[in-house]
Amino acid sequence: MTGKQLIMNLNTTNKSTPNSEYNSMTNLQNWDGDIIDCHIHPFSSPETRLCPHGQPNCAKELFSELKRAGITRCCGTMIRRMENPEWADIRGLNDEAVALSRLYPEYIPGINVHPAYPDESCRELERLNKEENLYWVGELVAYMMNHRYSDPGMKFVFEQAQYLGMTVNFHDNNDLEEIASFCNDFPRLQLVMAHPRDGADYLARCELMKKYPNLHLDLSGTGLFRWGMLRHGIDIAGAEHFLFGTDFPICNPGMYVAGVKFEPLTIDEQRMIFADNFKRLAVITP
């Protein structure tokens, strides 16, 4: 290859995104629209404080740091490790989350459920849907609550969530067959996998979303540390399947904001990932 040919190749736009789309892309350094973080874990006690390096120290600091990163609203569950939780423990986490949302209106509580208590969990979904207008379940973290998604009681919980028009965000074990079974068994239930993972695992998740319109992915946790992975995932599955998330306060929220901003996305794709997809799935009106 000659030097001239090399320069021509380097200046050629990737065929997956037409030149007209690249020309419509905005410099997101000046992005001033909503950025909604669909995946945080707020806290109100030492037991629910997931801060491996000591910060933040209180809820006020947590929401202040999210705001400093440019995040305007957020959602997620309070969680703590429980070997044999009673239903009162699960209900207590939900009550704490709702109480926190009274103090910080930018926070939308995620709902905790447990398959060991299917009847109580179904009533809890109905209660919080009616009383608080909540439509977001999770992030569910099975290993923290000592259960499996394949436990018999989870079927009834998913059925109730589907009936109520809710969305379930769950930390999976990358068992794609199990995730596909959820999509098939509950075709009207919107499901959001937590964390992109990497390499072949990420690509397999994208292909699964391409197959199932009710399956989505939040960008929290493992994040966007591989250049171009979000652009590539959108080209496979479509921007409507991706949601912005951070896993704060475990992870640095500024890195995730910058990660999405630096990807070559159209204005519509940016808006969908930062805000509109969550608003649609969580039934949020402006």
Find tokens 């995040």 and name the residue. 71
Residue 286 has pLDDT above 50, yes or no: yes
Neighbours of 15 (CB within 10 A): 7
Q: How far apart are CA 273 and CA 95, in angstroms?
A: 29
Q: What is the pLDDT of residue 267?
A: 86
Residue 239 has pLDDT above 90, yes or no: yes
Q: How far apart are CA 37 and CA 9, in angstroms?
A: 38
- Residue 32 structure tokens: 């001033």
Contacts 24+ apart (CB under 8 A), 55-60: 55/249, 56/249, 59/100, 59/103, 59/104
Least confident of 41-45, 150-154, 179-183, 217-221: 41-45
pTM of the model: 0.89
Find tokens 């109520």 and name the residue. 164
Mean pLDDT, the chain, integer: 90
Q: What is the pLDDT of residue 129?
A: 98
Give me the residues paired with residue 136 across strands: 167
Residue 32 has pLDDT above 80, yes or no: no
pLDDT tens, 116-157?
A: 999 999 999 999 999 999 999 999 999 999 999 999 999 999
Q: What is the pLDDT of residue 285?
A: 81
Q: What is the pLDDT of residue 11?
A: 52
Residue 86 has pLDDT above 50, yes or no: yes
Residue 9 has pLDDT above 50, yes or no: no
Contact between 75 and 108 (Cβ < 8 Å)? yes
Which runs of consecutive H residues, i.e. helices, occur in 19-151? 19-23, 59-68, 87-103, 118-132, 142-145
Q: Which domains does the chain have, with CATH numbers?
A: 32-281 (3.20.20.140)
pLDDT tens, 196-237?
A: 999 999 999 999 999 999 999 999 999 898 999 999 999 999
Q: What is the DSSP letter of 174?
A: S
